[in-house]
Amino acid sequence: DADLLDATQIRKMLPFLNYDNARFPIQGGLLQRRAGTARHDAVVWGYAHAADKLGVDVIQNCEVTGFIRDQNGAITGVETS
C-alpha cells in the first residue's frame, strides 16, 4: 500500500528541500503512510540481542571466511581468519 510520487508531488509535500543544486537530484519518492521509521543501528542491535538469547556468540571485527554445515546443509559453525 505504497504511493509512487513524482518530483512535482515531492516538491509540493517538501518545498524546503534543495531541488536545484542537490548532489543527488530528487526524481521522485515512495510513500507508505502507515509505515514507521527504524534506525539501522537499532535494528542490528535488536537482531544481535535476539541471537544472543538463542545462544549465538556475536564477535565484532572478526572476518568470517566460511561456513561449517552438517549433512543436511544446516549451518552449524563458521570458519574465521
**pLDDT tens-digit profile, the chain (81 residues):** 899 999 999 999 999 998 888 888 899 999 998 888 878 899 999 999 999 999 988 888 999 999 999 999 999 999 988
Report pLDDT for 74: 95
CB-based contact 31:5 (threshold 8 Å): yes
Report pLDDT for 21: 86
CB-based contact 69:75 (threshold 8 Å): yes
Report pLDDT for 51: 94
- Tally of CB atoms within 10 A around 19: 13
Cell of 76: 552449524
CB-based contact 65:81 (threshold 8 Å): yes
Report pLDDT for 38: 79
Angle, CA 77 vertex, CA 74 and CA 79 arms, to 5°:
125
